[in-house]
Structure 1
Amino acid sequence: MFQLFKKSKPVKIRSYDGNKKYGVAAKDLKELLKKGCKSLQLPLPGAHVCLYSDGTKVTEEFFVTLPDHTELVLLSREQTWGGVVCDIGQLLNTDRHADGLIEAAKGLLSDEQSPKRRKILTDLLLNLEDRSELESREEDEEWFKGIDARFKTKSAYMKFNCESRIRGYMKEVDDASKTIQKAKVRAEFLKTSKSLVEMLKTARYNGCYFDRTEKEPDRLCTQEGWFTCQGSFDQDVCQSLHSINPYGSRESRIVFSTWNLDHRIEKKRTIIPALLEALQNHNTSDVNLTYFYGLLFTRENLKLVHIVCHKKGAHNLLCDTKKIFRQAGKTEKGSQKAKGRKRRLV
């Protein structure tokens, strides 16, 4: 009989407290332990191997089934391994300075292939690189890259960012005037638009929503700059618990630009058409502009949502017909009609 020769299996191996991987080829677990202990300078008695991904102990039978280049951890007798998060926890328990932790985390991430581990390390890096306590351009120049030089603080830029979004909503209202055929209705709509702009100027375009230096009832973030997703239009809270601090890093600031101030009652599908309809047979003075202002530009109808929670389908929510017109105006008209009837009776 011919003796069957086992083919060597290439794997990647590292020690419990080491980030560097070593390529080892072995025919069986016994040979792997022998070569691994020699490379990592560990005592062979009691040595054992676990999967790097989830900490599963590798037996002789299990070793045969491993795919080539599987990542393993070689452990001494007293050591245990809990999976990919183990070395991250060990990293955080060290006394390294923040910059040292960042470099170490980048080292772990540099050649990592595991999606789960890459996600954990990426999130860790974002937190380690957090510089939210810094406010001025001089303190954190990296955060301000690509931002106009007139902005000297993070809060000033974030306020401008929010104002720009609100101005964009106002532009959509103005653009709706182009669809109006009747000159009288268009004239009333332009009056309405002008009044809304004046209301926005008084409120400084509600830039306070993104400004962490504002008072708590006015801002949407914590004093440190953390924003929490408020969930899709049809939910009370975000089921995924999304949160972000755009004050922390340039990357977080850029990612935050994908978050939406979403209208629960939709702007284009519902609010603007309802305003146009109200002006077909009424003057601007008859319309409850405070109600429409609240729907278009305030937290009364706006929700800050992560892009994943932004549902772009029809919301199927309508304006409150009882609030579209000014009640005082109706009362005044009713009084005039009553006076007219009284004169006729006299």
Structure 2
Amino acid sequence: MRKVTKHKLVKIRSANEARKYGIAATNLKELVKKACSLLKVSNSKVHVCLFEDGTVVTEEYFQNLPDNTELVLLPEGQSWNGLVHDINQVLGLDRGADLIRAARDLLSDERSPKRRRILGDLLRNLTDNSEVENREDDKEWFEGIDARFKTKSAYMKYNCESRIRGYLKEVDGYTQTIPNAKTKSEYKKVVGILAEKLKAARYNGTYFDRSERDDHRLCTEEGWFTCQGAFDESNCVFLHSINPYGSRESRILFSTWNLDHLIEKKRTVIPTLAEALKGNKSGHINVDYFYKLLFTRENLKLVHIVCHKKGAHELSCDSRKIYKRVRRIVK
């Protein structure tokens, strides 16, 4: 009985064309012959590699390929790095609309999660509109934002103010946990002082406002923010960065970044403030010290959600050491 040779179905393209063609072949030689004819390429001195990572396909390798594997036909001596090649092809286009269209086409036809993530990052950068500031010039960026905000900087400033106001609300909320009436009364006075200081500092909204001076903001003049790393790291090992001024998507993603307290707000700073007021009046406490720990860059780091460690911060300045320092700085 004659053995039936099974055809293997693959997709193939040339190095200079994004379009892929389906071919059925029983062996590598047949595949090359059909591919050269289809792609109008001379079948002398060519080879086949995987589209995914450039691995050269031998006859044995070909026989073990799953159906619908994506391949590339290359001239002799030419190697292949699919993603780099595709990105170079995209970046070689002149017009912005063509760039974006090409990147979206690549993304829509891509199945690899890693390549999709890289292409997604590329597309976000291609659609970057960070140089535009006013609402009328980038209406998409302002979608879902109250009409009172006319510029990106104004909204980003408000965004930061809202976070800082939230911290003040947490400090104020701790009042209800203090059992001693006198301590609670003095604590309320400190909260009032902190609120006045924040109001005078415009709730430190300048941290997210790219129109502010260099020493007042956490971003570049263009609006780029860089992750400062986890609380116990000197910098971000992943090199996270983002420009929320660039697109609506980036603005929304930026909301997942955290202003993280190195010395923890809930576990350490607030309880220590309450403890320091036991037997002391608000006027005897160095409120500036607590203000800096709660609301300023002296104790805050901007971190990507991946770098935000939610467990207890094991720092050299734990609650007990802070309390000792507070006792030393009581006026």
Please report the TM-score for the alignment, with normalisation by the length of structure 2: 0.94
Shift of 1:67: 1.5
CA-to-aligned-CA distance 1:278-328 (integer Å, 9 cap, x gap) = 112100001110000000000000000010110111113425345425847
Q: Does 1:127 align with 2:125?
A: yes
1:328/1:180 CA distance change after superposition, 3 Å: closer
Task: Find the counterpart in structure 2 of residue 202 from structure 1.
Answer: 200
Q: What code does the residue aligned with 1:82 have? A: N
Q: In the alignment, which residue of structure 2 is the partner of 1:193? A: 191
Query: 1:252 maps to what in 2?
Result: 250
Aligned 8 A contact 1:288 1:325 in 2: no
Q: How far apart, CA to CA, are the structure 1 residues paired with 2:308 and 2:276?
A: 29
What amino acid does structure 1 have at the position aligned with 2:179? Q
Equivalent position of 2:326 in the other structure: 324
Q: What is the letter of the counterpart of residue 62 of structure 1?
A: Y
Match in the other structure for 1:58: 57
Q: Indicate the larger mover: 316-325 or 168-177.
A: 316-325
Bigger Rg over Cα: 1
Distance, in Å, in 2 between the alignment partners of 1:277 and 1:321 is 8
Structure 2 residue aligned with 1:237: 235
Residue deviations 1:139-163, cap 9 Å, x none?
A: 1111111111111111000000000
**Alignment check: 8 A CA contact 1:9 1:25 kept:** yes
> Does 2:310 match 1:312?
yes
120-129 vs 287-296, which moves further: 120-129
Cα distance in 2 between the residues matched to 1:76 and 1:323: 72
Q: Provide, for residues 15-58 of structure 1, a one-character-per-residue CA deviation record: whole Å limited to 9, x for no partner.
A: 21222222211111122122222322222233321110111221
Deviation of 1:90 (Å): 2.7
CA distance in 2, matches of 1:286, 1:47: 83
Question: Who is 1:219 aligned against?
Answer: 217
SS in 2 for 1:84: helix
Structure 1 Cα separation of the partners of residues 152 and 68 of structure 2: 46
Distance in 2, Cα, partners of 1:3 & 1:88: 48
Q: Which amino acid aligns with 2:236?
A: C
Aligned mates of 1:90, 1:21 — CA distance in 2: 16
Q: Hey, what does 1:96 align to over in structure 2? A: 94
- Whole-Å Cα distance in 2 between the matches of residues 327 and 268 of structure 1? 21
**2:179 alignment partner in structure 1:** 181
Q: Give 3-state SS (helix, strand or coil) of 1:223's partner.
A: coil
Q: Is the 8 A contact 2:190 2:282 kept in 1?
A: yes
Any idea what SS the aligned residue of 1:74 has? strand
Which residue number corresponds to residue 156 of structure 2? Answer: 158
Structure 1 position 278 matched with structure 2 position 269:
no
Q: Distance in 1 between matches of 2:222 and 2:85?
A: 30
Tell me how far apart the structure 1 counterparts of residues 78 and 261 of structure 2 sit (CA, whole Å): 55
Q: Which runs of 5+ in 2 are unaligned?
A: none
Assess, with a 3 A threshold, how the Cα gap between structure 1 residues 86 and 194 changes in structure 2: closer, same or farther: same
Q: Could you list the runs of 5+ residues in structure 1 that have no partner in the other structure?
A: 330-346
Deviations 1:240-298 (A, max 9, x none): 11111111111111111000000000000000100111112100001110000000000
Residue 213 of structure 2 aligns to which amino acid in structure 1?
A: K
- For residue 48 of structure 2, give the secondary structure of its aligned residue in structure 1: strand
Larger CA deviation: 57-66 vs 31-40: 31-40
Residues 202-244 of structure 1: per-residue CA shift (max 9 Å, x gap): 1000000000011001100010111111111111111111111
CA contact (8 A) 1:85 1:117 kept: no
Inter-partner Cα distance in structure 2 for 1:255 and 1:82: 30
> Using the alignment, how far apart are the partners of 1:33 and 1:13 within structure 2?
10
CA root-mean-square deviation: 1.6
Matched residue of 1:141: which SS? coil
Q: Number of aligned residue pairs: give it.
A: 327
TM-score, with normalisation over the residues of structure 1?
0.90
Aligned sequence identity (%): 62
* SS of the residue 2:141 aligns to: helix
Q: Which AA in structure 1 matches 2:326?
A: I
